[in-house]
């Protein structure tokens, strides 16, 4: 479990630095917004481009991917249905659905896959699914919800055009195209993207830490219901569904089953907070979900390792 502890220690350290920057505002009052825009428009597209360009797309055909997809769809559907009944609104429902199912496959998933599961490539399928399906769909809905577009044909045109205008989606699709082409670009051509992409995770974590300063204790504000639902789905239901499907339906062998369940138990990714902040929708709710699921991941992973490892 040293990988889990190391991964969380790094994340916590950067978040604490962000909190201190919020407390001592040396970066100015708009630091959170600037860092969020930097991550959303510049650093994240570059990071996703380099990751996906170096990923073998054949992993999407593995059996464990089906279990991962179904576990994500299950918890996302539950949150969306409850939100529809409670009338939480399109924007909050969208970011809440992402918060309940979008795992931290990058800065936490990679070290955990490497040190706990002994194979960093295991995180690639869920990373690809999130980047190529969940993020484009969620961002398109958020864009349409905030764009004032009405009518079938205007909405259709906006829906088809939004993915190709979104920098996160553009970077992801460019990486997939490069991977599928089989071309291995020379190092000097990729280095600028790798250098810029290296800012993505620190910028997200710093913006998250800044947002924590002055915020109320999680789970007590007006978003208590959506927060508790999303946290329960992400930290408990998603890994449980993954285990049920993997063990009882798809009969995965023990090592594969363990890896699928562990990855399903990862906390909500900071990307979702970046999206919520960018679209000014459910920021406080997502911030609390990210914080609570991150703290819960350690005991959850220890429990899973004891039961399945």
Neighbouring-strand partners of residue 268: 103
Q: Residues 6 or more apart from 66 whose CB is under 8 A from it? A: 250
Q: What is the Cα–Cα distance from 225 to 214, expressed in whole angstroms?
A: 21
Output the tens digit of pLDDT for each of the chain's 309 residues.
565 566 667 778 888 999 999 998 888 888 988 998 898 889 888 887 888 888 777 776 667 788 988 999 999 999 999 999 999 999 999 999 999 999 987 666 765 775 567 665 677 778 778 877 888 888 888 887 875 555 545 655 655 665 566 787 788 788 889 988 989 999 899 999 999 988 888 888 888 888 888 776 666 667 889 999 999 999 999 999 999 999 999 888 888 898 899 899 998 988 898 889 888 899 999 999 998 998 888 788 888 878 886
Structure tokens at 165: 């205008």
The gap from C-alpha 40 to its chain's centroid, in whole angstroms, comes to 13
Burial label for 307, CB within 10 Å (0-12, 13-18, 19+), is: exposed
Alpha helix (H) residue ranges in the chain: 2-23, 31-38, 44-53, 63-86, 90-99, 109-115, 124-129, 135-146, 152-165, 167-181, 187-197, 200-212, 224-232, 238-244, 254-264, 270-278, 283-308
* Residue given tokens 């562990």 in the structure block: 262
Q: Please say whether the beta carbons of 50 and 198 come within 8 A.
A: no
Structure tokens at 88: 């939480």
Q: What is the pTM of this model?
A: 0.77
How far, in Å, are 17, 70, 123 from residue 107 at the CA level? 17, 23, 11
- Residues for the chain: how many in total? 309
Q: What is the Cα–Cα distance from 22 to 41, expressed in whole angstroms?
A: 22
């Amino acid at each position: 479990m040293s990988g889990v502890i190391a991964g969380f220690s790094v994340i916590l350290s950067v978040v604490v630095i962000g909190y201190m920057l919020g407390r001592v505002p040396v970066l100015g009052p708009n630091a959170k917004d600037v860092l969020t825009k930097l991550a959303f428009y510049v650093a994240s597209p570059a990071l996703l481009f380099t990751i996906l360009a170096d990923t073998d797309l054949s992993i999407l055909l593995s059996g464990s991917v089906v279990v991962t997809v179904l576990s994500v769809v299950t918890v996302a559907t539950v949150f969306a249905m409850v939100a529809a009944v409670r009338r939480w609104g399109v924007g909050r429902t969208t970011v809440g659905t992402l918060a309940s199912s979008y795992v931290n496959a990058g800065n936490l998933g990679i070290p955990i896959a490497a040190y706990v599961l002994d194979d960093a490539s295991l995180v690639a399928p869920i990373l690809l699914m999130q980047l190529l399906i969940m993020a484009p769909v969620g961002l398109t809905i958020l864009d349409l919800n905030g764009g004032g577009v009405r009518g079938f044909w205007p909405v259709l045109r906006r829906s088809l055009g939004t993915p190709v205008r979104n920098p996160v989606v553009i970077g992801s699709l460019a990486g997939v195209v490069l991977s599928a082409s089989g071309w291995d670009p020379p190092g000097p051509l990729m280095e600028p993207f790798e250098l810029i992409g290296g800012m993505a995770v620190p910028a997200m974590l710093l913006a998250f830490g800044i947002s924590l300063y002055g915020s109320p204790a999680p789970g007590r504000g007006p978003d208590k219901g959506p927060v508790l639902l999303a946290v329960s789905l992400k930290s408990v239901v998603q890994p449980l569904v993954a285990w049920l499907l993997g063990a009882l339906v798809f009969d995965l062998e023990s090592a594969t089953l363990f890896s699928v369940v562990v990855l399903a138990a990862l906390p909500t990714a900071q990307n979702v907070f970046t999206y919520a902040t960018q679209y000014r929708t459910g920021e406080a709710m997502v911030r609390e979900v990210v914080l609570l699921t991150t703290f819960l991941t350690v005991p959850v992973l220890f429990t899973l390792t004891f039961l399945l490892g």
